[in-house]
Amino acid sequence: MAFVLIYGSVNTVSAEENVVENKDNNKILEEVVLSTPQINDEEEIAPVQAAEVSENSTLKEKLKNVYHLEIDKYDRPEYLFREILTHECEDDSIMDKWHVWGAYNGYADMGIDEDGNFDSKYTGNAHNVGFDGFLRNNNGDFRIMLGFPSHSKRNYTQTLFSDVYIATNKIPHHRVQIGHFRPQIGMEGGSSAYTLSFLGRSQIARNFGTARRLGGRIKGDYSFMDYDFGLYSSGTFFEEWFPGAEFVGWINLKPFAKLDEQKYGKLKIGGGIDGGKREDSFFVTGAYIGYEYKKFMAEFEWANANGYNGYNGHSRKHATGFYTTIGYMITKKLQILACFDQFTPDKNFAENKKREITLGLNYFIKGQALRLIMNYAFCQNDVGKDSHRIMLGAQILI
């Protein structure tokens, strides 16, 4: 099983936060390379196709492997108990392997709220369990992920089925997926909760994106470009069957793809749109730029909405915002971060901006599989009082 525990949140984080793409890499960490959220992270707890699982190993040997596990990639989750919880099928089975997992997400924080009062709290956001199956010869894979949030404005049936989809990678450089999942609305808005730099998403991500829908998508991945195009029902979280159609498209350019990464680093420039109709028409545009060089990373993302259809539902408001983050690996396991995040929830009013300045520390004990987190956030509101929060968190993937 995979259990995820997160204490603390810079922002209000959705109860149905998920889990992403995984590739096996147990080599000893020689040099830490930072990585920003990937565009192809719809598999929240990652597929284990790349895992080399030996069923001849004893449980004691597998647990010893967990103890000595070293992970040098932080752009995707890893599993502490990947070998133990992955089952290889018989040769005559149409299934290649399957993987079961579970997740828990919660947080605790303390600080001064907008009313000037001190408060502290602990909230268990969600309990998730899932089953991933993989067919032989890369013919297909599927996922069933259930969510059990401890609090939600939605009813039980609307939050029970989080990810339910089937997919195939048979077309070279492409992945086709059909079902219920999170679209790529913005770079961060479509990425996994478990690769975020901070405990919560940016304001544009949690307002415009991160809501699951029924639909289909095709994703391409080439050296100099990747893309994600999908057509969906504009009804989110099974609240409505088909109130209207919604198109989501995102493209990333990677101009340094063929250059020496140690010399030039990695550059990604992206942009996309999200448009459709739910009660009224809505349209969101966004742009992203991210750069990584050895232990340093920086990213900037902007979005503008003439109406939107995000996690909290459909809104007719015209809103805009951006965030910028920089990070540096002080040691092989310790990362320091800073972020400036600004959001205008209604452009019809001149002075209603919300700003969040966040400082963070990440200690990657075993990559994203075992991570300790500390955030301090100063929140400034043009139409309200300022607030301060300190968040202590932990992330565990089993």
> Which helix (DSSP H) or strand (DSSP E) does residue 352 occupy?
none
Element (H, E) at 65: helix 59-67
Burial-class residue 180 by CB neighbours within 10 Å (0-12, 13-18, 19+): buried
Both tokens assigned to 36: 């920003």
- The whole-angstrom separation of Cα 107 and Cα 199 is 9
Q: Is 8 left (phi over 0), alpha (psi -120 to 50) or beta?
A: left
State the Cα–Cα distance between residues 272 and 301, nearest whole angstrom.
11
Average pLDDT for 331-348: 95
- Taking phi over 0 as left and psi of -120 to 50 as alpha, with beta for the rest, 175 belongs to beta
Two structure tokens written together for 79: 């599993």
Q: From CA 270, how far away is CA 300, in angstroms rounded?
A: 10
C-alpha distance from residue 170 to each of 96, 176, 201, 229, 235 (Å)? 15, 9, 33, 17, 29
Mean pLDDT over each residue of the chain, to the nearest integer: 82
* Of residues 277 and 157, more confidently modeled: 277
Q: How many CA atoms lie within 13 A of 178 on its CB side?
A: 2
Q: Please check the confidence at residue 37 and state whether its pLDDT lies above 60.
A: no
Share of the chain above pLDDT 70, in %: 83
The pLDDT score that the predictor gives to residue 152 is 66
* Distance between CA atoms of residues 199 and 111, nearest Å: 16
CB count within 10 Å of CB 241 equals 8
Residue of higher predicted confidence among 381 and 177: 177
pLDDT value, residue 153 = 72
What pLDDT, in 10s, does the model give residues 101-114?
Answer: 877 756 788 888 77
Question: How high is the pLDDT of residue 398?
Answer: 80
33 DSSP assignment: B
The token pair at 110 is 């303390």
CA pair distance 197, 206, nearest whole angstrom: 15
Give domain limits for the chain: 59-396
Q: Measure Cα distances from 258 to 222, 226, 269 in Å.
A: 11, 15, 15
Q: Nearest CA to 97 among 76, 111, 83, 79?
A: 83
Q: Which residue has the tokens 């709290």?
A: 121
d(CA 188, CA 289): 12
Q: Could you give the CA distance from residue 225 to residue 227 in angstroms, rounded to a whole number?
A: 7
The DSSP letter of residue 5 is -
* Bridge partner list, 247: 231, 275
Q: Which residues contact 157 (CB under 8 A, 6 or more apart)?
A: 238
Q: Does pTM top 0.85 for this prediction?
A: no
Q: Which two tokens stand for residue 55?
A: 């069923």
| Architecture of the 59-396 domain | Beta Barrel (2.40)
pLDDT tens digit string along 130-143?
Answer: 899 999 887 899 99
pLDDT of residue 86 exceeding 80, the answer is yes
Among 363, 354, 350, smallest CA distance to 381 is for 354
| CA gap 223, 206 in Å, rounded | 30
Q: What is the pLDDT of residue 29?
A: 32
pLDDT at 56: 63
Which residue shows structure tokens 């809103």?
319
